Structures are given as C-alpha cells and as structure tokens.
Amino acid sequence: MTFFSVSQRPLLKEGYLSGGYLPQILNPKEDYSLKLDHMGKAYILGMKGAGFASPNPSVGCVIVCQDTVIARGYTQSYGGQHGEKVAFEGLGDIPKHLWEKCQIYVTLEPCHHHGKQPPCTDLFVGKPIQKIFISRKDPFLSELGIQKLKDMGIPLDIGQMEKETTAWHLPFLFHTLHKKPIIALKWAQSLDGYLVDYQNKSQWISGSQSSYYTHWLRQKYDAIFIGGRTLIEDIPKLTARYPNGELQRQPLRMVYDPLGDLFHRSNLEFHEKLKSLTLSETSPLMYFILEKNWDMQSPLSQTLRNSPQVQIIMLPEILNFKDHIHWILNTLPKSIQSLMVEGGTRIHQMFLSSGLADIMHIFIAPIFLRNGQHPYEEPQMLTKACRHKLLAHDRIGEDMILEYAVSSEVTQLFEENTHA
C-alpha cells in the first residue's frame, strides 16, 4: 500500500494518466469500458479517436436507457462527425416516450456553432431527454452550448470525471486558451535520476510496457521534438508503433540541430542507417538548422533535400534557445496543438531551464546507473526549487510512470471549478 498526504495525492483517479486509461492502452484488444461507469465508458470511447481527430477534441458519447447503453460514438477524423452525432445516428429514430428514459454522457460540452459539422446541440432539439451528463465545459464555447441545452429545458449534470477529461483533452484546452501548443517533456530515468549511462547510452532504460505508452503518446501528441545529437546517437524512426502494427496517426517529426551536428557524423555507415531508419518513414520531418552550419558539400545535404518528407528550415541568427523555440512554434501549422519533447538530455535541460515545459512524463526504471546525465542543467537551491503538481502515477510493467503539471497554465486548468 502507498501512503500519500492530501497534498501529495495525484489529481487523477487510479488507472488514468494524461494519455488515457492505462489498462486500455496496454491491452488495446480488451474493452475496459465494461468495467466502468457510464462516463468512464464515454471516456474510453473518446480514446478511440486519439490523434486522428485533432485539432478537434476526441469526444466520447454514450446514450443510456434504463441503465443500458443503447448507442455510442466518438469523434471521427478531422472534419468528420463529432461523437454525439455518431451516437445519435447509431440510435436511429426512437419514440418520444423512450427519450424520457434516456440519459446522455459526453466528455466535453456539445458544440453550438457551425464548423465543418453542424452544431451538436441541434441533435437534442425536441427530445425530452431525462438528463445530460457533461464531464467538462469547453472554453471555446464560453458555455453557450450549455446555455442552449438549458434553454431547451434539459436537466444537466456537469463535472463527473472532470479532472480525468481535463487531462485527456489537455492539448485542445491548452491551445484554445493560450493560442500556443502545449509542450510535454518525456524521458526515462534510473532510480538515481540518470537519463543516460556514463557511455551516453539510453537504450533501453525503461521496459516494454513503458514503450507501449510512449508510442501511444506519440499518436496522441501532434508533434515529436528531438535534438540533432539524439538523432545521431539513436537514429530513431520517431513514429507511433504498437506490437500489433501501426497506430492510427503519425506525429509530425521535428529535429532541432542549430549547430549542424548531423553533418559532423556524416560517414557512410551513419548515412546509410539514417536513410534506412529515420528517412525511410513517410511522415513529415522538419529539420531546423542555422544556415551558416548547413554543409552544401556533404552528401547528407543532398540526401535531406531529396527526401520528399523532409522540410529544411533555416533558423534565425539568434543565440537564445527560448527565442528559437518561440520562433519554431510560430512556424508550425495552426493544427499543431501539442509537442512532445523526447530528448536528448541537453534538450530537456534547456526546455526546463527556459521555463518552456508545461507537463512531464517521467518513466522510472528499477535500476541504478551511478553515473551519467541528469535532466537538469544546474544545481538548484532547496529554497528556490519549484514543487510541481502531481497529475498521475502508476505502475507500468516493472517501471513507474509519474506525470506532473509544470506550468501555471496547466495547473490552473485543473484548479478551475468549471461546473460551478
């Protein structure tokens, strides 16, 4: 048994992480919604739209009649039907007297505006629904969707599983309120806090189930960010993969290499591995470098230019890392609501020291390395150290996963009482 003081308890219920319901992630062929209440069922449904519904939030909806689920739906790919619409279409036409026995559970406030789809609130017109349960308000709607439902005379219950759905919809909520992508840091470390060993090796600190969750996060987040040195050391594909095959959506891949470290390792063996691994994937890759460090004479420059999925972007001549990141974020398509930083250690250090991180996913493996690199650039005095808000923790195989809210913007989203 684990003991926590009130202030140390994670914000999310057991089993729930910011990436979703962990048992469902680790065992995708099982339907864990059968073990959960109706809002939990809606939540699990919303997970089915992870990634490909973006930039729309992936909303789950269930329609319940006399405690039996009679229809369900989740948000389809961007531009497609919302979760409520899918559920209503699955139900078809039913007599008015049956609606009086129906309750609807939805993870986010139904929209009231015309976009690529008509307003979801129109679905409820003329239906004497017993009650609608809404987990969380949508800040984009300014409660107009809720007000429209109230005007129809439908009883509402707002706030079931609010913290869990806030975490699930965090990229959408954060981007809606702050008009910038949320930045998540992800790393695996030893019990004594090292991300790499004394030989600068990190593959693999954490176990296979931690890897499953990492790939799930890659699907959920819109973009993956690494430094040039990580590309050199690991030559990663940076794709979302499950043991049973590809996931539904691949993230935008981003490599930050202002000094052109990639060209310093441009030997034939590295060149061939890069082509067979990172550059063999078709998902887009943005490569950021200072123009003065671009080596036109290197065979690598021609390989990058001839790779249709690679976009080469010359960084402005500024020395400040924080300004570089702000500039990069402004170059991204507006559909990019979230960015997961996977390393390396130096990149994590710069994001933390620059105050650019919003949330952290930390995998802790049951090993001691005794030497290596920490994710912190400089020592910190205890009196000045910041205590981050614990969102969730869980056992994942032999590892532990800890998730923290880092920025005040994220913390405030969980402190809001949106159902007041």
Domain spans of the chain, in order of start: 31-167, 170-415
Look at residue 371 in the predicted model and tell me its pLDDT. Answer: 63
For the segment(s) 31-167, the CATH number from 3.40.140.10, 3.40.50.1820, 2.60.40.10, 3.40.50.450 is 3.40.140.10
CATH of domain 170-415: 3.40.430.10
- The residues that are catalytic are 84
Strand ranges for 95-181 from DSSP E: 102-106, 131-134, 156-158
Q: CA–CA separation, 165 vs 135, rounded Å? A: 7
Q: What's the pLDDT band for 71 if we cut at 50, 70, 90? A: very high
pLDDT one-digit tens code per residue, 95-125: 778 888 999 999 999 988 777 778 889 888 8
CA atoms within 13 A on the CB side of 78: 11
Nearest one of 140, 149, 224 to 176, comparing CA atoms: 140
Structure confidence at residue 1 (pLDDT): 34
pLDDT in tens, 152-202: 999 999 999 999 999 999 999 999 999 999 999 999 988 887 887 756 666
CA-to-CA distance for 371 and 194, rounded, in angstroms?
Answer: 7
User: For 317-364, how does the pLDDT look when each residue is reduced to its tens digit (9 = 90+)?
Assistant: 987 899 999 999 999 998 899 999 998 888 998 999 899 999 999 999
> How far apart (Å, rounded) are the C-alpha atoms in residues 51 and 24?
16
